[in-house]
Chain A
Amino acid sequence: MKQTVNLTIDGQAVEAKAGQTILEAATAAGIKIPALCHHPALKPIGACRMCLIEISKYQPLYPACTYEVSEGLAVTTRNERIDQARRFVLHMLFSERNHYCMYCEMSGNCELQDLGYEYGLDHWTYPTYTERFPVDASRDTFLMDHNRCILCRRCVRACSELVANHTLGMRQRGAKTMISADLNLPFGDSSCVGCGTCLQVCPTGALIDKRSAYLDMGHKVEIERVKSTCSQCSVGCGIEILIRGGNVVRVDGDWDAKPNGGVLCQQGRFDPLYDKRSRITMPMVRKNGTLQTADWETALGTAARHLAEVPASQVGVVSTSYATNEALYMVERLFGQKLGTDKIELLDAALPRLPVRYAPLSQIAESDLLLVVGANPVEDQPVASFLIKRAVDQGTRLIVVDGPHNPLIPFAHMNFEMADLAEAAQVAARAESPLVLYATGVADAYLTQLQGLERAGFVALEPGGNARGAAAYGLNGNAVGNEVEVLYVLLGEQVWGEAETEKVAENAFLIVQTSYDSPLTQRAGVVLPAAIWSERSGMLTNLEGRPCEANQAVEPHGEAKADWEILGLLADRLGHGPAVPLTELSALAAQGLKE
């Protein structure tokens, strides 16, 4: 079969890949064809007819999104006849349901509206439709206004093709067709996982985010997009932080990013924007028994004095694994190498590494059998679970080895208790290219049973956000114990719960670097305010071991500073400086990663 096809689009000679659609070939050649139901990440269905084009040898108009290129085609994408057809389609779309832009939150950021302008729809030819449709606001974070829906089915396809959750479908026929969850349940009660991928692909104001829609998401022209990396779990999804007037408005998945390809989960897309904890915005120092705000000089000075006063054996560090590579590098360099303490504990330590072949997450789509062992990606790394379910849809076999309540079990072909891991491994050994995904739920003794899988690739679904980065710097969870006199807690944005409180010696002097108020800060001697995910730059190492760039989108709250910057300033105070700028520190940290 020939690999390339030659055709002309609007008189321009275009070389397209065999199997491409006319729309794809035109887009690649820089020729714009309008489309509403089509989305580059989804399979085309030719529903909206906005992309109608003329093919010289045929009389009818064809949808460019589903018409495959072939040798010698002469395509016209715009002339009076095509414009008339597209205008007709737009008139029909505007005449059904409520498409009055003036009372829509997304006016100014709507693909239907853009096309209305482009095709000069200054009035409507058809009588407007007056039937009222329901608004479903039963989900926590975003709502569906059926009145704004043009039935393009992007949401339905995103739900099944990208997230492989199959919650959304259609019911009824014709103009009464409705987007429907499960067997017509309210979205909030349905099998919806709240990932918001449908929200991200909706071309109109039908799916709107309760938060951003009322923060003027409609003012597209005023919205800036900053590419970054999600730090909620170890998958390391590419995100776009949407900001307006110095505030984070919404988080979208980055379509060009690995491994998520535009998809995000609820934890990544919404949770960071709904954090209700109160921020620490100023450095604080305890004076006469009470925490009082102080300037950075005083706070760093007090912290440095306490650290310098005691021998290294009396200094402990507890660190989050959600910090940047730069910060984790600084923890190891300052506390491990310079101050010489060996008591550095990680809240979420990296998984044990096996002498096997590790594979990237993209291998999920290429394997014929997935063996999930002691891992709960549905809750811990949701985007990885989407990739797994997507593969299962394509016919990949799934074996789950875990307790009976693992939420992947309903999708699995077989499931075993951990005691029967050897049996599962035997089944996996028969596959051509099995992939093992393991996490904290599997004991080391069991892990060794998997090493015999010769053809298998391995993915360690790391706990925490940047445990791989931490492990690369040698931070891997030695317990601090209760004997230290000064404890430095690099908590960042992580939640400090009951279990963690037990890790802290009652009489230790606490220096806490954190973004939020918690029981820990109430006990601290010094509190250093840390910037959150949207306020700092740095690198994060995802579970594949790939360094991912996180970029600052907005200014830090109050006097908060990036995690690595605080540690740099502290090192400087302790005579182990000077504090270096991010680029220099990143280079040093990257060097450390390689070693």
Chain B
Amino acid sequence: MAKIKIATDWLAACAGCHMSLLDIDERIVALLDQVEFTSSPVTDLKHPPKEGVTVGILTGAVANSHNVEVARQMRERCQILIAVGDCATFGGIVAMRNMVGTQAALERAYLETETTVDGLIPDSPELGKPLDMVTGVDKVVKVDIFIPGCPPSADALFYAISELLAGRVPVVLPDEYFKYD
């Protein structure tokens, strides 16, 4: 049987969710008999393969135009999209920006901090443009499975992948893996 292909990527994230994925530890070796991790922030391949993958995993909030592009590309190239972590499901820590507004946050961060000298708000065309509102991934593309948590435990991620491998959809997280913080 061909291996199930998984692609992952992060949006506005701290990498904690990907650390949780790696925290699956030695079980990941057994998992590799059945799945193939294609693109991810920690592998050489950075974009999901054009021919598509079965499972796409996104961590992090949608905070700028680049995040929107990454989320859309992942959605186009995967069959089942999983939003992993509080940022991807609710906006998380990144959404604290919504409480002050994007412009005010940029000004505070790049112009007004006590140690700033000749501050400048970055505006290179290569950078994503910050959005007015930080949201979870599902406000931009359709999400099939949500795994909240900051970060979700390795067990929660392993459980979800195992359920998918067993062909059980939708994934209903048991109580012990379902948490908001």
Interface centre among A98, A102, A124, A130 (most CB of B within 10 A): A102
Residue in A122, A127, A128, A130 whose beta carbon sits within 8 Å of that of B178 in the complex: A122
> Shortest Cβ distance from A449 into chain B, in angstroms?
64
Residues in B122-152 with C-beta less than 8 Å from chain A:
133, 135-136, 138-139, 143, 146-148, 150
Q: What is the size, in residues, of chain A's interface with B at 8 Å between Cβ atoms? A: 19
Bound-state CA distance A108–B179 (Å) is: 9
Bound-state CA distance A146–B135 (Å) is: 22
Q: Mark A95-130, 1 if CB is under 8 A from B, else 0.
A: 000101111100110000100110010111001101
Taking a contact as CB atoms under 8 Å apart, the answer to whether B96 and A103 are in contact is: yes
> Contacts A108-B181, A113-B180 hold; do A103 and B93 have CB atoms under 8 A apart?
yes
Q: What is the size, in residues, of chain B's interface with A at 8 Å between Cβ atoms? A: 29
Q: Is B63 an interface residue (CB 8 A)?
A: no
Q: Is A57 an interface residue (CB 8 A)?
A: no
User: Which residues of chain A come closer than 8 Å to B95, judged between CB atoms?
Assistant: 100, 128
Taking a contact as CB atoms under 8 Å apart, the answer to whether A116 and B180 are in contact is: yes
Interface centre among B93, B95, B136 (most CB of A within 10 A): B95
Taking a contact as CB atoms under 8 Å apart, the answer to whether B136 and A124 are in contact is: yes
> Shortest Cβ distance from B173 into chain A, in angstroms?
7
Q: Is A132 an interface residue (CB 8 A)?
A: yes
Q: Mark A123-143, 1 if CB is under 8 A from B, else 0.
A: 110011010100000000000
Bound-state CA distance A120–B171 (Å) is: 11
Bound-state CA distance A124–B92 (Å) is: 12
Residues in A368-408 with C-beta less than 8 Å from chain B:
none
Label chain A's interface by main secondary structure.
Answer: loop
Bound-state CA distance A120–B174 (Å) is: 10
Interface centre among A107, A127, A130, A132 (most CB of B within 10 A): A130
User: Which residues of chain A come closer than 8 Å to B135, judged between CB atoms?
Assistant: 127-128
Q: Is B118 an interface residue (CB 8 A)?
A: no
> Contacts A122-B178, A130-B98 hold; do A100 and B90 have CB atoms under 8 A apart?
yes
Taking a contact as CB atoms under 8 Å apart, the answer to whether B146 and A102 are in contact is: no
> Contacts A113-B180, A130-B99 hold; do A122 and B93 have CB atoms under 8 A apart?
no
Bound-state CA distance A120–B147 (Å) is: 11
> Shortest Cβ distance from B56 into chain A, in angstroms?
16
Taking a contact as CB atoms under 8 Å apart, the answer to whether B178 and A117 are in contact is: yes
User: Which residues of chain B come closer than 8 Å to A100, judged between CB atoms?
Assistant: 86, 90-92, 95-96, 180
Bound-state CA distance A88–B90 (Å) is: 17
User: Which residues of chain B come closer than 8 Å to A116, judged between CB atoms?
Assistant: 180
Residues in B165-181 with C-beta less than 8 Å from chain A:
172-173, 175, 178-181
User: Which residues of chain A come closer than 8 Å to B139, judged between CB atoms?
Assistant: 127
Taking a contact as CB atoms under 8 Å apart, the answer to whether A123 and B148 are in contact is: yes
Taking a contact as CB atoms under 8 Å apart, the answer to whether A123 and B90 are in contact is: yes
Taking a contact as CB atoms under 8 Å apart, the answer to whether B181 and A122 are in contact is: no
Q: Smallest CB-CB separation from B89: which chain A residue? A: A123
Residue in A107, A113, A128, A132 whose beta carbon sits within 8 Å of that of B90 in the complex: A128
Taking a contact as CB atoms under 8 Å apart, the answer to whether A123 and B96 are in contact is: no
Q: Is B17 an interface residue (CB 8 A)?
A: no
Bound-state CA distance A123–B99 (Å) is: 19
Taking a contact as CB atoms under 8 Å apart, the answer to whether B86 and A102 are in contact is: yes
Bound-state CA distance A108–B181 (Å) is: 9
User: Which residues of chain B come closer than 8 Å to A98, judged between CB atoms?
Assistant: 99
User: Which residues of chain B come closer than 8 Å to A122, judged between CB atoms?
Assistant: 89, 146-148, 173, 178
Taking a contact as CB atoms under 8 Å apart, the answer to whether A117 and B175 are in contact is: yes
> Contacts A103-B96, A120-B172, A123-B138 hold; do A130 and B133 have CB atoms under 8 A apart?
yes
18 contacts between A and B (CB under 8 A): A98-B99, A100-B90, A100-B95, A102-B92, A102-B150, A102-B180, A103-B96, A104-B181, A117-B175, A117-B180, A120-B178, A122-B173, A122-B178, A123-B89, A123-B90, A127-B133, A128-B91, A128-B135
Please provide the 4 A-B residue pairs with the shortest distance between their CB atoms, ordered closest to farther.
Answer: A101-B180, A122-B146, A130-B98, A102-B181
Query: Which B residues are closer than 8 A to A by beta carbons?
Result: 83, 86, 89-93, 95-96, 98-100, 133, 135-136, 138-139, 143, 146-148, 150, 172-173, 175, 178-181
